[in-house]
Amino acid sequence: MKNNFLIISFLFNSLLFFSCSTKVGEIITVSELNYPAELKIIKRADWGWQQLDKAISSHKIDKITIHHGGEFFPEEKDMYQYLRNLQSWSRRDKKWIDIPYHFIIDLKGNIYETRPINFPGDTNTHYDVNGHALICVVGNYEEQIINQSQLNSLVSLISFLKEKYNISVQNIRGHKDYTNQTVCPGKDLYKYIEDGTIVKMIHDKNKNLKNTSKVKTGIEVLRERNFDILRGKRVGLVTNPTGVDSKLQSTIDILFEASEVNLVALYGPEHGVRGNYSAGEYVDFYIDEKTNLPVYSLYGKTRKPTPEMLNDIDVIVFDIQDIGTRSYTYISTMGLVMEAAAENDKEVVILDRPNPLGGIRVEGNIVEDGFYSFVSQFSIPYIHGLTVGELAKLLNDEGLLTKRAKCKLTVIEMQGWKRNMYFEETGLPWILTSPHIPHPYSAFYYAASGIVGELRNVVSIGVGYTLPFQTFAAEWINSVQLADKMNSYQLPGVVFRPITYKPYYAFGKDKMLNGVQIHILDFESVELMPIQFYFLQAVNELYGKNIIIDGRNDDMFDKVLGTNKIRELFLKRQRVDDILPYLKKDLKNFKELSKKYYLYD
C-alpha cells in the first residue's frame, strides 16, 4: 500500500537486530496499562522490545485510529522477529523513537503492545497524531479479507481503550479519515468502520459485560438496610407503577408489608399511583383498593402537597422512574414535594433510579424568567444528565426551589450504576413510565421529537400508532423525498427511513400518513434535540411550510423549550444553525455545576 510504515517485505526478513540503550542519567517514563484478564495482550517484554533511548512530549489520548500494514503478510512469518526488525528500522532509518503504532494485531488475532501509549505515534502522511491511540492490523486489506479473529480482537482492544480514556465513538476512525494521502486501513477493514459494525460490536460487548451484574435501585438498597431511616416514623410515598424492585414487586407493597415501616399515605403524580389514568387526565382523591390507604392526587386540584395532605406523616418517600428530560413532569412533582416538605418541616427520602439517557448527555438551554411551568419547573437544561437523586440534591443545595426552599433531604443511592450506562445495561426490568414511553429507548425518541409534538394538528410523531415519538408524518409529505432530505443533513448517529402508516388515534386517526421513521443507530454520538428542528427545516425547504406557525401552540412550545428565543430565532430563516448556539449556551456552566452533585462515576 502507498505511504505505509511497514515497507517492503525484504526489510523484515533481512534487517539485523539493532539495540538502543538509554542515555546515562536519563529517565524515560513508560505508561504501563492494566489490562482486563479477557484481553490477552502480548507485552513488550515478551517479544523482545528494547527500551527507549530518547523521549518526546507525552499526549492525552482522545482518539482511536485504525491502520493496516499495507503489505501481504505470510502466515508463517515469525511475529516476534518481525516486531524486533520493525523497531530497529523505525529507530535507525526513520529516526522515530519506536514502532509507529501503539498496538499491532496479527493474522490470528493476537494483540501485541508496541510503542508506549503515553507517547504519540508516527506517520509518513500529513496528519497530527497527538491524542491518537494507533492500532495496526497486519496485512493488506485493499486485497485481503480480514478474518473474524482479527476483527474480534480489534473490537476488544478498542472497547478497552474507549472505556479507559472515555473516547467518543465519533473518534474511532480509520487512517484515511485524517488524510487523503492513503487508503489505509484498506477497503475490507474500513467497511467495518464506515458502516458502524465496529461501534455496534463494541456496544454489544459492553452491554453483555455490564449485564453480568444487576444494578440495585434505591428501594432494594433501603430494604437491605432494613428500612433504617424510616423506622419509628409515619411514612408517605410518592410513586407510580414504575416504583418496583428488580422482581417487579411494587414499592407500595414492599413498604406496606414491611414490619419496620408505618406507611400511612400515598401520593399520585400524573397517571396515578397504579397508572390507571391517561396523560393529562385529572386525578382526584381516592382510596387504594389493595392497601386501603388514602391516595392524594398531585395531578388534580393541586400539584403541590398541601399542609393538610402532610399532616399525618413525618417523612415523604419519592420512588418514580424518570426519563431524564425536563418536560417530563415527574421531576416537577418531585420538586414541588420537596418545597412542601421544607415548608411543613417534613423529611424527604429519594429512592434513586437510573437515568435511561445515561449520566453524561446534557442538551438544551436552561429555563428563563417568564417561562417556568410544570413542564419547565427548574433552571436546568432540557436534558440534564442526572439521576433523580442527584437532581434533588442540586435543586435543594443550589436554591432552585421556589423561594430558595431547602428540605431535609436523604438520597438512597443505587449500587452498581455508572454514568455511561443506558437502561438496557442495568439488568433491570423496564416498566413503561407513561403510555407512550413503552421502552427504555423511548426516552431518546421523546427528546428527539416531543417538542414538535406540542404543535397541534399539523404532524404525527407516532403517538397513536405503534411508534410513539419515532416518526414525523402527515398526509401531504412524500416519504422518500423527506427521508432523502433528512439523511442529506448527515446527522451523527441517526438515519431516517421512509414510512407510511395509519394512526389508531390522535392526530391523523384513520388517515394514511407519509413521513420518516427515526432510527438511532449510535446512542452516544446522536444529538437529540436538534433532530426535530431539522425536520422543521426540511419541510420548509421541500414544501415551503412553516409548521410552528401552522401548529398554533406557541405558548406550550415555548414553555417546553423554557424560552421564546429559540422559536423567534428559528422563524427568521427556519435554519437549525441559527438556534444551535442558543441551545448550547448554558451547557458548559451547567456541566460544571452538576458535577458537584454526582453520586456515581
Does position 273 have pLDDT exceeding 90, yes or no? no
- On the question of pLDDT at 19 being above 50, the answer is no
Q: Tell me: pLDDT of 212 over 80.
A: no
Summarised one tens digit per residue, pLDDT across range 500-519 is 999 999 999 999 999 999 99
User: Mean per-residue pLDDT for 569-597?
Assistant: 98
Amino acid (one-letter) located at 398: E
- Name the residue ranges covered by the structural domains of the chain: 9-210, 218-423, 437-563
The three-class DSSP label of residue 148 is helix
Residues 299, 222 contacting (CB under 8 angstroms):
no
The pLDDT tens digits of the residues spanning 67-103 come to 999 999 998 999 999 999 999 999 999 999 999 999 9
Residue 196 is placed in which grid cell? 458502524
Architecture of 437-563 per CATH?
Alpha-Beta Complex (3.90)
Band (pLDDT 50/70/90 cuts) for residue 7 is: very low
pLDDT digits (tens, 9 = 90+) for 32-47: 888 887 788 999 999 9
Give the pLDDT band of residue 207 (cuts 50, 70, 90): low
CATH of 9-210, one of 3.30.70.360, 3.40.80.10, 3.30.110.40, 3.40.720.10: 3.40.80.10
- Options 3.40.50.970, 3.40.50.12170, 3.90.580.10, 3.40.1190.20; CATH for 218-423 is 3.40.50.12170
- pLDDT beyond 80 at 124: yes
Taking residues 289-315, report their average pLDDT: 94
pLDDT of residue 26: 54
- The DSSP string of 511-569 is S-EEEEEEEES-TTT--STHHHHHHHHHHHHHH---HHHHHT-HHHHHHHHT-SHHHHH
Q: pTM value?
A: 0.70
For the chain, give the mean pLDDT.
Answer: 92
What digits encode the pLDDT tens for the residues 398-438?
Answer: 999 999 999 999 999 999 999 999 898 899 999 999 999 99
Between CA 471 and CA 445 the distance in angstroms is: 9
Structural contact between residues 120 and 62, judged by C-beta atoms closer than 8 angstroms: no
